[in-house]
């Protein structure tokens, strides 16, 4: 039990660990009756409504940037301080909530070439006849 802390179990329950760390914690819990009891205790606390600052912070993702900020991060359209904070949050903290949001935003940026061509064709076809040629110069 010494290698798994109460805080790590909270992080495990909040899906706030890397896959490798979450797997290690899960295996330790499965192998230890003490950790299983600690897990039950933590789950009971949560069911009663744990109201510690840490619990509220985790549940509310209060240190996480907004989805709009993550989009601006991808576009490198942030001031240096905020950009550095978000990079730290993603690369060092490795917040799974924000990494999932970032992956989703990236997937929306990548559009297959046929879809792009199809969209351009629809726009062109819908605007035929609406654009008049320039008037001759006098």
Contact 105, 70 (CB under 8 A): yes
Return the higher-pLDDT residue of 51 and 9. 9
- What is the chain's mean pLDDT, rounded? 85
pLDDT tens, position by position, 18-50: 788 889 999 999 999 999 999 999 888 887 776
pLDDT tens, position by position, 46-78: 877 767 777 777 777 888 999 999 999 999 999
Which of 134, 71, 59, 124 lies closest to 97, judged by CA? 59
């Amino acid at each position: 039990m010494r290698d798994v802390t109460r805080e790590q179990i909270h992080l495990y329950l909040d899906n706030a660990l890397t896959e490798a760390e979450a797997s290690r914690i899960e295996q330790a819990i499965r192998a230890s009756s003490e950790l299983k009891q600690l897990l039950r205790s933590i789950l009971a606390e949560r069911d009663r409504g744990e109201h510690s600052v840490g619990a509220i912070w985790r549940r509310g993702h209060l240190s996480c940037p907004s989805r709009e900020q993550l989009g601006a991060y991808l576009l490198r359209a942030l001031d240096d301080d905020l950009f550095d904070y978000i990079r730290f949050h993603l690369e060092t903290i490795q917040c799974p909530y924000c990494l999932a949001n970032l992956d989703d935003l990236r997937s929306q940026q990548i559009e297959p070439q046929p879809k792009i061509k199809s969209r351009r064709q629809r726009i062109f076809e819908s605007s035929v006849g609406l654009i008049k040629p320039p008037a001759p110069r006098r």
